[in-house]
Structure 1
Amino acid sequence: MNIDIRKAVLANISGNNKDQLQSTIVDAITSGEEKMLPGLGVLFEVIWKGSDDTKKEEMLSVLSSELK
């Protein structure tokens, strides 16, 4: 069976408002379930692609700082 995770995740959240998106992210993180990680990765990919270089630098700084 071949599942396109990106398409599935994007289809599941398409049309969601900010509150719904936040709930999805918080639920995925607080559940601690490994199966949620690919979905969070897809969301991060969307954010990364939609960000300018300044925002990308900010994200990298936060990641670098939090991973020390």
Structure 2
Amino acid sequence: MDLNIRKAIYANISNNDQEQLEATIVDAINNGEEKMLPGLGVLFELIWNHSNEEEKKEMISSLESGIQNDL
């Protein structure tokens, strides 16, 4: 079986507005189910690929802070 998660995620969100995209992210995080992680990964990949170097540095800094605060 050839399953392309990226294509499935893109198809599911292709017509979503900002409010719907936010709801998708919040729902996936609040739900806490492992099966949602690949979708969040695809969304993060989209964000990363469309961010400039300063935005990427901010994300890494935020990630580092989050990891340190959650340990």
Instruction: Determine the C-alpha separation between the residues in 2 that align with 1:33 and 1:2.
Output: 23
Q: Are 2:1 and 1:5 equivalent residues in the alignment?
A: no
Cα distance, 1:15 vs. partner? 1.5
Which structure 1 residue ranges, 5 or more long, are not aligned? none
* Corresponding residue number in structure 2 for 1:54: 54
Structure 2 residue runs of 5 or longer lacking an equivalent are none
Q: How many residues align?
A: 68
Aligned to 1:65: 65
- Residue-by-residue CA offset, 1:2-36 (whole Å, 9 max, x unaligned): 10000000110001000000100000000011000
After superposing on structure 2, the runs of 4+ consecutive aligned residues of structure 1 that deviate more than 4 Å are none
Question: Share of identical aligned residues, percent?
Answer: 60
> In 2, Cα distance between the equivalents of 1:3 and 1:64?
32
C-alpha separation in 2, matches of 1:27 and 1:65? 23
In 2, distance between residues paired with 1:17 and 1:41?
A: 19
2:22 corresponds to which residue? 22
